[in-house]
Structure 1
Amino acid sequence: MLLLFVFGLLIHLVFFASIFDIYFTSPLVHGMTPRSTPLPPPARRLVLFVADGLRAHTLYELDESGNPRAPFIRSIIMHEGSWGISHTHVPTESRPGHVAMIAGFYEDVSAVAKGWKENPVEFDSLFNESKYTWSWGSPDILPMFAKGASGDHVFAHTYDSENEDFGADDATKLDSWVFDRVKEFFDAARYNQTLFSQVKEEKIVFFLHLLGIDTNGHAHRPSSRDYKDNIKMVDEGIKEIVSLFNQFYENDGKTAFIFTADHGMTEWGSHGAGHPSETFTPLVTWGAGIKYPQKVSAQQIDDPLLKEWKLENWKRQDVNQADIAPLMASLIGVPFPLNSVGILPVKYLNNTDLFKAESVLTNAVQILEQFKVKMAQKKEVTLPFLFTPFKLLSDSKQQDILRQARSYIKQKKYDEAISLCKELIRLALEGLSYYHTYDRFFLGITVVLGFVGWTSYASLLIIKSHSNLTRGGSNKIKKPNHLLTCTFVAVGIAIAFFLLIQSCPWTYYVYCLLPVPIWHALLSEFPVIEDLVKSLLTFPPGQFIGSLLVFGLGLEILVLSFFYRYMLTAGLTAFAGWPFVTQLWTRAKSTSLSWTLFSLLLAVFPLMPVVGRKPDISVVMGAGLLVLLLSLFVVTSYIKRKDNLDGELFLYLLQILSIMLSMYTVYSTHSSLQRKQGLPLLNQTISWIILASSFILPLLSPTILFERLFSILLSLMSTYLLLSTGYEALFPLVLSCLMFIWIHMEQETLQQSGFSCKQKVNSIQFAYNIDITQYRKLYLDDIRRAFFLVFFLVTAFFGTGNIASINSFDLASVYCFVTVFSPFVMGTLMMWKILIPFVLVMCAFEAVQLTTQLSSKSLFLMVLVISDIMALHFFFLVQDYGSWLDIGTSISHYVIVMSMTIFLVFLNGLAQMLTTKKLTLCGKPKSHLF
């Protein structure tokens, strides 16, 4: 069993990792030659303002009085420059956004493992190509560009990370810090000859990262006065900085200004996904080389918001976020970032047609260089007869297009040259994607082979060892099949040799060789497969087909629930009628009615809005009161039933006190943050103590089934209340009540099937070592039990929308523990909040196995098989086309299911520890351990 457990865990880790090798590998290549426009640039210097977390709509809209929210930026749009929307890609986070606009490419999601701070790969950027770059702002963003730069010409000035406090009284101080340091910098430059000569150079960049808007958005929501006032403050600060530059450089007209944002923000103060409020960011440019405002009678972009913004008469020009990098490089005449895939937006340029055409040609050659390097790399590691080149952009076609483009420029047919260069860019980008995904189909086939083989083998193992379907096959003495073994060894050697001569990465060996032992183990059980087929032929065809249809329908509901949460409501509503379909209600009417009631109550949660949109502390307080009332009821009944319970009574009172402290802390912290007084140290201390104690207190309670489960509920609820901001605080309470009833229902079902139960539910004890003789064989009803568990686990995931989308994570849920920005601490706390309903379901699952006298190994293997079938389903649904939101969603669904499968192994161990282990107080004998 241990060997199977280790092998199964290894297989699932490989399947999980495969998605990162197939879809999340870095697109970057190295070895290209820097390319810059050969003509003199219009600007000597560039100033980049990035307002972190600024939504385009909130900037452009008029305030409640009908006045511009950012009057200086509005005046730029109307009198000095060009404007539009910069469309970001998912994930809409700070690091990917800054990399896109400064380096010109869309970073792969693997950077999240570094907390969006460190460089998972080295990359070129506008800052690296500049003569000098000075930057001011957040310690989370600036250092990565300084680290990625060659030499020592990129200077980062950051404030302390403790300043990024979501509970601070005034987050605008982050932006004030930046503006003040820029002013001090230029004051110093007037008296420092070395610095003065540097800032007078050409091809220099000034980067101002303004984090206050993002911080206020997370803390108070974008609709708040704090968020909107911060925009006004930033607008005034930019006006002062622009005036400062004009004075310092004596209005030489050689400064280009760009104002934009890395990402937007949802109404509930989060970002990360693909909602327009997150992907639509402002872009306003002015100064040297930028086209002046163009008045139009009709816009090319049909957007009703233009009239609401009162900007329908000023031409709007949208770009992709990566297009900003080549725009900035063109303005100051530095080489385009080597890995940039942005397309120069020539409509923003105020320059000669020759300059525009030469710039776009340079842009095309720079992207074509990446295509050539990518093709050469792939060709080098692929056997000649297996290499299939990108047919739409052959070597001859590349030369023809470049020759024709240069000819058009000589003939002064600049529009034709620009159009042809854009066509070359389009083909080169298609070719880059083609070679980047060259091995995707091959790797996908190997992973599917391994998946199907493992799922089939696990299913066969369950049927062979834990059912009566193959009694004859399982008793046969298994003779080694040397021919089969030799065949698979030969196949493995052939695969390894094939990969070796192609210089494939070591991970390819894992993906390609893993199916070999799996399918060998599966085909070695051929006698068992024969017995299984014979046994299945004895089943009535109607019953067998009906069971398959019901099982398939249930799986489809689970799969659809990842896309549509209300499918969980449909499933739970069907669960509510289960006792009446099976006539369980005739045996246990009160239990059946309770099951129906709580199934319907739980079915309400998937219909509710995603958590985080409307915080309501009063609901959290109400959930706490319900837990207290339930606790008092249980403790009172417990006192009536038992005599000597001093230790147990003290423990329950301690846990009730913990619930009360959680309620106080939530209310007190919320009030303090509303008054902008920050997180009180006492509240923070209490929160961390409650979190730590929630792992210890259940282990002090008796191991009697319901007493231990109730103790686990109280401990986890005290933590969950601290992590709640609204109606989700009720979710684990309702879920737990349904789990308690499920345990009773399963014992009733077992008795109805004719099995005798040796103990009543109330007297069953959790124990680490259980007499194996009490285990029984599997029956069809056990498939339903395994399906119930998977359904409840998916409900625990999506019941409150906690991971329905990345932007449904609400930072406000961790404010009782920490308000200073710390991605890993905050992420860990939010992950534990998601796992708490998981743990409650898994602990109930342990109880179901006890009450139904079923081997945990057999039932757990069935759950893994169901999860793997779902994972295989999602693997086929993964796509690399369509919108970025569709691509990200399809990949995240597979990752979620695979994570759930792997987590099941660990959560099963955690649930066993919480239910079976018992800590003893000093002085008690060891015999009291269980």
Structure 2
Amino acid sequence: MVSRGWVLTIGVLFHLIYLRSIFDIYFKSPVVSVEEQHGSSLDDPAILHEEGASPADRLFLIVGDGLRADKLFENPQLAPFLHDKAINSGRWGISHTRVPTESRPGHVALIAGLYEDVSAVTTGWKLNPINFDSVFNQSRKTWAWGSPDILPMFREGATIKENVICEMYDSEEEDFTEDSDKLDTWVFEHVDALFAKAKDDEALARDLRAPKSVFFLHLLGLDTAGHAHRPYSKEYLNNIAVVDNGIAQLMKTLEGSWSQQEMERTTFLFTADHGMSDWGSHGDGHPDNTRTPYIAWGSGVRKPSPYDPLVVSASLKTHHTAHERLNWSVEQNSRVDVAQADLAAFMSYSVNIPFPKNNVGLVPTELLTADEQSKAVAIFQNARQIHAQYSSKAELKARMLHYSNMIHYTFDKDYYTTGMTHIRNRDWPELSAMSQDWIHESLKGMRYLQKYDWLFLRTIISLGYLGWMLFALIFVIKSYVIPYTGHYQALAKEKQIELLMGQKIVPGSATRNANGHPTYLPPAVDPNVTSSSTIVDASFGALAVGVLAYLLEKSSPLSYYAYAAFPVYFWYKIIQEIPAITSSLRTVTTTSKRAWPAALGLALLGVVIIQGVVNAYAHRQIISIMWPLASVTPFLYPGASSSVQKTAWVMLCTAMSTFTSLPTVQTEDIRFVVLGGALMALIGLAYILLRGGSFTLGAQVGLVALTTMVTKESSQSLADKQGLPLGCQVLGWTCLVSSLLLPLCHRLERKPGETINYQQRLIILFLTFAPTFVILSVSYEGLFYLVFWALLVTWMHLESGIADSLAHDSKVVHTTYPSSESGHRGLQFSDARVALYFFFLIQAAFFGTGNIASVSSFSLDSVYRLIPIFSPFAMGLLLLFKLLVPFAVISATLGLLNRKLKVAPSAIFMTVLTFCDILTLNFFWMVRDEGSWLEIGSSISAFVIGGLLILFVICLEKVSEWMVGDVVM
């Protein structure tokens, strides 16, 4: 029999490795090595007997980081210059982004024409050069100004780094407590300085005027203002005015440096990498985050045309989320929507440079002034470049022995040959139509190759999760049920009672299992004896060899071998235990007729809880519906609890239901923060007055009060735009760190041999994390923490009372009994209810104040009280710490309950592990890589959370052992 340590070790490895499976299946990197490269003009001008002129010589790309489309277009008074360009000079519309709506993937789509796989968002927190082609790399030279978070990755990823010239401010300048527009002012001032320098440096002036040059202005002020003050704040709106004024002044600078002809040969594109939610965050697929504005004007850009309700732009037909008219001033002219990657193709076309090799954007011909011939040739070249990516991917797959090509897609040169015929015949409409179809087929082919291994991978992943659950279940039965049952049979030998294994046991010599528990089972059903046979070993050996050969033939990556190894191992172990499994199931029919209703009732409860939780990841309010159902629990066991306990339980369940029915915490309300802090301090003070307490306990209460006052002062200063006072920042960190260290002083105060009761440990634990839920709260989170703690304490007493009631009920079937040596008992049917409730409480903690499945549902306001300078990694750690605090309380409560129930150590924790992955498997099949970006992002988050749940439960057990190991019940 395998040990518990081995089960946990393999469980951790299994879940960590399988966690990346969705990225190998659904979000595999689209980057492929492409040898061919094509520009927007034909490679062989001799065929046309002419060479098309470049639409422009230079390009300015100006990105307002975090700018929402509606905030720009509905406020013409804030941005008169940009509105004038949209109405009188060029084209405007919505650029539709993809998830994750973060800065790195947004800029990659804009500048490389590529949608990175979703996991690439994690590389946005550090310098991580892009390992693929870009507009900057294809340009003759690019000058860039802006944030150190964006510019270096394009410079370091360039073939010739010296051709991407960057000027950046220090990261310390990204201070959320100061005026954010200074970041944009810095950019405009340094652009002006470069052109001023060029007036005295002829070589630099020629360089700046040279064809195929790109100028990139990254304006971070809007993103900073949105995070700090929200996109409807005066700071955010004023920053729009700063950007508009800066661009207007830039035009004057250029007019003073270049001739009119040079200005007329310059293209300008203003857009954003992502939007901003109403509560100052981004990342998910909400329309506020995915709809960004763009305005294009200058050389090669088509002049505006009046809005005609009878004429629907071709671009709007492909962007169904943006049909409605929004009463913006710019809507007097027709609107052209684009996909974000299309803008990379537009920029490449504008300065006549090759498309980035991995570009999937389409040249937006509705923006162009070019004649029919130039547009048709550009689309044809665009199609050749996208088809080159398909060809490279198909060649890689064709190396496999059993490669199956697409049924409806032929890998040949028909499109190219047909296209060249249309060019020679100057049949431009036909060339355009054929090229569009070629692009569609190539993208479809690339999609097919991306999904080529889906059936195989999804099958083995599903078998892996099912195998793990059965593997863990068998371990629980053999470790926490059978040994205790056998011991009871020995005690009841005269009655010859039929127990869990359905066998009548004749008393014999006691043996011990791997956990040290006595067992008196005969060798035929000894849980340490497996049913392994030569046939089973040979069968699984052949299966392993067959899978290995299949993977080798496909030249599969190493991760595929790991995915396949786990199900083979799990199911090998499961087949070995078939006699034990069937024997265990037989107990339901041999123990008592009442066992069946109990089993079915628990199964129904499990289905309701697990499926309710699954749906709660999409609809948080479902948790609110589940709390009233939980509130009836004590009424199902008459006499198990007092009327006070029942009343408290119902009231607390109602309060918890209220929290999940509220909107996720978005805006700061310091009144709720102060109220929560005051109530937490009063609870601690009440305990000291009623039960007495040490000096350290009093210090904990005082620390909660001090944290509340410091938080109120910090919040007021930030609201008044005074910045974060140094004293408040130091005191805030001191309170946070001290609150986590003070519990250690309780151990120092205790005399040798002195014990601590569970009530005191619970109040110490509650006060330990109370300062965290004050200083890192923006609204009602502190109140949630208080109610949640009270509910857990009440739950512990309810379950203890129910267990005592059932123990003395002669009608209840007891399948396991306490060991005379350890004093622990094995698991019974009723313990499954405890495990299910524990599972539900974990999920309820996730959704108490935010939707953990959405990265945009947590406010950053509280973090500014400790870290005013932009530091996403540190800020993320603080938010994660706050999110994990309730689980420390959950783990301690279950640890205490485990002692009250006299269940074998780790038994309930291990039981939870057996069904956690029902949630994960649901989420695995619900992962979306198509549809709305909100659905895609949420499905990824849900699977990752489900996959990490087992690791979390294991950590919770260790935390529980540490926190309540010395407690006396």
User: Structure 2 counterpart of 1:4, which letter?
Assistant: V
| Residue 126 of structure 1: aligned partner | 135
What is the SS of the residue equivalent to 2:172? helix
Q: 2:542 aligns with which of 475, 490, 515?
A: 490
Residue 440 (structure 1) aligned with residue 454 (structure 2): yes
Q: 1:813 aligns with which of 862, 885, 901?
A: 862
Task: Tell me if the contact between 2:664 and 2:849 (Cα under 8 Å) persists in the aligned partners.
Answer: yes
Show the 5 A alignment for 1:506-525.
506-525=558-577
Q: 1:790 aligns with which of 822, 839, 849?
A: 839
Distance in 2, matches of 1:135 and 1:321, equals 20
User: Structure 2 counterpart of 1:441, which letter?
Assistant: L
Residue 8 (structure 1) aligned with residue 11 (structure 2): yes
Residue 50 (structure 1) aligned with residue 63 (structure 2): yes
| Residue 492 of structure 2: aligned partner | none
What is the SS of the residue equivalent to 1:593? helix
Question: Aligned-pair distance for 1:486?
Answer: 2.9
| Residue 618 of structure 1: aligned partner | 671
User: Structure 2 counterpart of 1:53, which letter?
Assistant: G
| Residue 288 of structure 1: aligned partner | 299
| Residue 554 of structure 1: aligned partner | 609
Distance in 1, matches of 2:600 and 2:959, equals 38
| Residue 175 of structure 2: aligned partner | 165
Question: Aligned-pair distance for 1:681?
Answer: 1.8
Question: Aligned-pair distance for 1:36?
Answer: 0.8
Task: Tell me if the contact between 1:88 and 1:279 (Cα under 8 Å) persists in the aligned partners.
Answer: yes
Task: Tell me if the contact between 1:36 and 1:334 (Cα under 8 Å) persists in the aligned partners.
Answer: yes
Q: C-alpha deviations, 1:130-170, integer Å up to 9, x for none?
A: 000000000000111001101120011100000101111x1
Q: 1:272 aligns with which of 280, 283, 307?
A: 283
Distance in 2, matches of 1:514 and 1:545, equals 31
Q: C-alpha deviations, 1:669-721, integer Å up to 9, x for none?
A: 11111222222222222222233233322233364212112111111111121
| Residue 925 of structure 1: aligned partner | none
Cα distance change, pair 459–476 in 1 and its aligned pair in 2 (3 A): closer
Residue 108 (structure 1) aligned with residue 117 (structure 2): yes
| Residue 786 of structure 2: aligned partner | 733
Task: Tell me if the contact between 1:93 and 1:272 (Cα under 8 Å) persists in the aligned partners.
Answer: yes
Q: Which moved more, 1:332-341 or 1:895-904?
A: 895-904
Show the 5 A alignment for 1:274-673.
274-298=285-309, 300=312, 306=325, 308-380=327-399, 382-383=400-401, 386-396=402-412, 399-467=413-481, 468=485, 469-470=500-501, 472=503, 473-474=525-526, 477-478=529-530, 480-538=532-590, 540=593, 542-584=597-639, 587-612=641-666, 614-639=667-692, 648-673=693-718
**Structure 2 gaps, min length 5:** 42-51, 486-499, 504-524, 748-755, 810-818
What is the SS of the residue equivalent to 1:86? strand
Question: Aligned-pair distance for 1:185?
Answer: 0.4
Distance in 1, matches of 2:762 and 2:84, equals 64
Distance in 2, matches of 1:917 and 1:237, equals 65
Question: Aligned-pair distance for 1:270?
Answer: 0.8
What is the SS of the residue equivalent to 2:865? coil
Cα distance change, pair 347–750 in 1 and its aligned pair in 2 (3 A): same
Distance in 2, matches of 1:447 and 1:286, equals 51
Q: C-alpha deviations, 1:787-814, integer Å up to 9, x for none?
A: 0001000001012114141111211121
Task: Tell me if the contact between 1:496 and 1:513 (Cα under 8 Å) persists in the aligned partners.
Answer: no
Return the TM-score normalized by structure 1. Answer: 0.92
CA RMSD in angstroms comes to 2.1
User: Structure 2 counterpart of 1:430, which letter?
Assistant: K
User: Structure 2 counterpart of 1:267, which letter?
Assistant: D
Question: Aligned-pair distance for 1:549?
Answer: 2.6
Task: Tell me if the contact between 2:773 and 2:781 (Cα under 8 Å) persists in the aligned partners.
Answer: no
User: Structure 1 counterpart of 2:408, which letter?
Assistant: L
Q: C-alpha deviations, 1:379-426, integer Å up to 9, x for none?
A: 22x22xx21112332124xx2222333333333332332122111111
Q: C-alpha deviations, 1:839-885, integer Å up to 9, x for none?
A: 11111111111111112322111111221111112112223332232
Question: Aligned-pair distance for 1:480?
Answer: 4.5
What is the SS of the residue equivalent to 2:276? coil
Q: 2:268 aligns with which of 254, 257, 260?
A: 257
Residue 213 (structure 1) aligned with residue 267 (structure 2): no
Q: C-alpha deviations, 1:276-334, integer Å up to 9, x for none?
A: 11111101000000000111332625968645213332010000000000000000001
Cα distance change, pair 803–547 in 1 and its aligned pair in 2 (3 A): closer
Cα distance change, pair 175–121 in 1 and its aligned pair in 2 (3 A): closer
Distance in 2, matches of 1:519 and 1:495, equals 14
Cα distance change, pair 121–229 in 1 and its aligned pair in 2 (3 A): closer
User: Structure 2 counterpart of 1:79, which letter?
Assistant: N
What is the SS of the residue equivalent to 1:40? coil
Distance in 2, matches of 1:556 and 1:706, equals 34
User: Structure 1 counterpart of 2:175, which letter?
Assistant: D
Residue 73 (structure 1) aligned with residue 82 (structure 2): yes
Q: C-alpha deviations, 1:539-581, integer Å up to 9, x for none?
A: 6455544442332222211211111112111111111111112
How many residue pairs get aligned? The number is 887
| Residue 765 of structure 1: aligned partner | none
Question: Aligned-pair distance for 1:741?
Answer: 0.7
Show the 5 A alignment for 1:141-152.
141-151=150-160, 152=162
Cα distance change, pair 227–615 in 1 and its aligned pair in 2 (3 A): same
Task: Tell me if the contact between 2:88 and 2:303 (Cα under 8 Å) persists in the aligned partners.
Answer: yes
Task: Tell me if the contact between 1:94 and 1:116 (Cα under 8 Å) persists in the aligned partners.
Answer: no
State percent identity of aligned pairs.
36
Distance in 2, matches of 1:776 and 1:171, equals 62
Distance in 2, matches of 1:753 and 1:40, equals 88
Task: Tell me if the contact between 1:699 and 1:914 (Cα under 8 Å) persists in the aligned partners.
Answer: no
Question: Aligned-pair distance for 1:476?
Answer: 7.3
Q: Which moved more, 1:548-557 or 1:837-846?
A: 548-557
Q: 2:102 aligns with which of 84, 93, 96?
A: 93
**Structure 1 gaps, min length 5:** 640-647, 757-769, 919-928
User: Structure 1 counterpart of 2:219, which letter?
Assistant: L
Distance in 1, matches of 2:905 and 2:191, equals 65
Task: Tell me if the contact between 2:25 and 2:454 (Cα under 8 Å) persists in the aligned partners.
Answer: yes
Distance in 1, matches of 2:529 and 2:171, equals 67
User: Structure 2 counterpart of 1:838, which letter?
Assistant: F
Q: C-alpha deviations, 1:218-237, integer Å up to 9, x for none?
A: 11111111111110111011
User: Structure 2 counterpart of 1:504, which letter?
Assistant: S
Cα distance change, pair 312–524 in 1 and its aligned pair in 2 (3 A): same
| Residue 760 of structure 1: aligned partner | none
Task: Tell me if the contact between 1:713 and 1:840 (Cα under 8 Å) persists in the aligned partners.
Answer: yes
Q: 1:853 aligns with which of 896, 899, 902?
A: 902
Q: C-alpha deviations, 1:66-118, integer Å up to 9, x for none?
A: x5321001111111101100001111111111000100011112223323443
What is the SS of the residue equivalent to 1:900? helix
Question: Aligned-pair distance for 1:658?
Answer: 1.4
User: Structure 2 counterpart of 1:420, which letter?
Assistant: M
Cα distance change, pair 2–471 in 1 and its aligned pair in 2 (3 A): farther
